[in-house]
Amino acid sequence: MKFHVKKLPSGLKILTVPMTGTEAMTLLVLVGTGSKYEAKEINGISHFLEHLFFKGTTHRPEPGEVNRALDRLGSEHNAFTSKELTGYWVKAAREHFDAALDIVSDILLDPLFKADEIERERGVIIQEISMYEDMPQRKVMEVFEELLYGDQPAGWDIAGPKDTIRKVTRDQILNYRNRQYVATNTWVIAAGAIDQKKAEKKIAHAFASFKNGKASSKKSVREAQAKPGVQFAFKETDTTHLALGVRAFDMYDKDRYALQLLSNLLGGNMSSRLFMEIREKLGLAYYVKAAAQHYTDTGYLLATAGIPHGDLERVVKKIVEILKNIREKGFSDEEVAFAKDNLRGSIALSFESSDDIATFFGEQALFYPKIETPDQVMRHIERVTARDMMKVAKEFFHPKSLNLAVIGPHKPSPEFERILGAL
């Protein structure tokens, strides 16, 4: 799969990935900013700003006009905010490239940020935060990161607390946008049924007025842990949701591929150890899985599950037992080969559509000094051995890296710290 990179004099970078066998194309704009770039008094402003770009522009000033223009194309479109990046994307038929580019560039270059629209959207975001509170399967991830990182940007919710959202001013929003949304901090990605040269030329023209400058950097994450961490969030739920994981390394560590394979065998599919032991043998969970999360400066390996209230202690003990077994016995060569086959197939399926391709290459471009293709990434994974995975397990599977977050009708108990300490 071939890709092309063009850097404009302003510092804006354009990435194009032509694809055959599709009539769709995706435009994706990635900005290197998110909640880890915020101060506490404006926590949630990255997400707030993401919403506001759709609330009217100089050329489309009326409420709903931007969304109507996108809907007229029959497109899929949305935006997202994470801890370290913010993205805006449109997926449409190839003949709508020009129209999609006009809309995306318009919302980012000429937003109005009307005071009355900011007030309306403030209420929408507060409702969104309330909605997340009613989604414990999602909320437990926030509780887990708060446990890991505490009162610093890495441990704050992306959407921010309601009280902060109520107080954020228009001036603060404009200042943050002017500081972070600059050409040198932005990639524009086009993937799918596109002409590479024409797409580059059109994108360069559409974003010619993007502000130059240097974005502010984020603070380094502080990590310190000497014993197992436990945090309970009391809520009257029908199911107890838990997140149990270990601190690990950032996205640049050479052992991240070994951790990816390890997480696959731990809980990445319906043949994994967590799924077989907790769902199939014990019948204690509908969902149980594991995944590795890598940021630019930290990371973790996490197991999550939804279980009956009365079986929390039993399930936590079982997960600790599984981690301990992996640390002491590792995986066989046959298991490692199985995980590689599984990932190879998953990677192939995940790159059938232009939006998946745009996201993959865009995040590579934003975070890494060198962009690698899916085939190159798979070659890194192919080189991982059972010994490499054992090394990772021995490094991280111990009590002082272990953390447990729980949402449900439970009160904190020192018993869980003892259970984690048995790892």
> Nearest-CA neighbor of 15 among 365, 374, 350, 360?
365
The model's pTM: 0.96
Question: How many residues are listed for the chain in this entry?
Answer: 423
Placement of tokens 């607390």 in the chain:
161
3-state class of 191 per DSSP? Answer: strand
> Nearest-CA neighbor of 314 among 280, 356, 270, 284?
284
H or E segment and range at residue 26: strand 24-31
Signed CA dihedral, 154, 160, 161, 163: sign only: positive
3-state class of 62 per DSSP? Answer: coil
Longest dimension (CA), the chain: 63
Q: Residue 1: its pLDDT value, please?
A: 80
- Cα 24 from Cα 63, distance rounded (Å): 28
Q: Look up residue 318 and give its two tokens.
A: 């079982």
Exposed (0-12), middle (13-18) or buried (19+): which is 310, by Cβ within 10 Å?
A: exposed
Side chain identity at residue 283, one-letter code: G
DSSP E strands, 222-261: 229-234, 240-248
Bridge partner list, 93: 24
Q: Look up residue 383 and give its two tokens.
A: 């080189």
What are the C-alpha distances in Å from 423 to residues 88, 166, 241, 394, 403? 42, 44, 21, 11, 11
Ordered per-residue pLDDT tens for the chain, 423 residues: 899 999 999 999 999 999 999 999 999 999 999 999 999 999 999 999 999 999 999 999 998 999 999 999 999 999 999 999 999 999 999 999 999 999 999 999 999 999 999 999 999 999 999 999 999 999 999 999 999 999 999 999 999 999 999 999 999 999 999 999 999 999 999 999 999 999 999 999 999 999 999 999 999 999 999 999 999 999 999 999 999 999 999 999 999 999 999 999 999 999 999 999 999 999 999 999 999 999 999 999 999 999 999 999 999 999 999 999 999 999 999 999 999 999 999 999 988 899 999 999 999 999 999 999 999 999 999 999 999 999 999 999 999 999 999 999 999 999 999 999 999
Q: Residue 162: its pLDDT value, please?
A: 98
Q: Look up residue 364 and give its two tokens.
A: 């590579």
Contact 303, 266 (CB under 8 A): yes
- Cα 197 from Cα 309, distance rounded (Å): 58
- Cα 42 from Cα 156, distance rounded (Å): 11
The domains of the chain, with CATH numbers, are: 4-206 (3.30.830.10), 229-421 (3.30.830.10)
Q: Look up residue 27 and give its two tokens.
A: 């435009």
- Cα 379 from Cα 386, distance rounded (Å): 16
Whole-number average pLDDT of the chain: 97
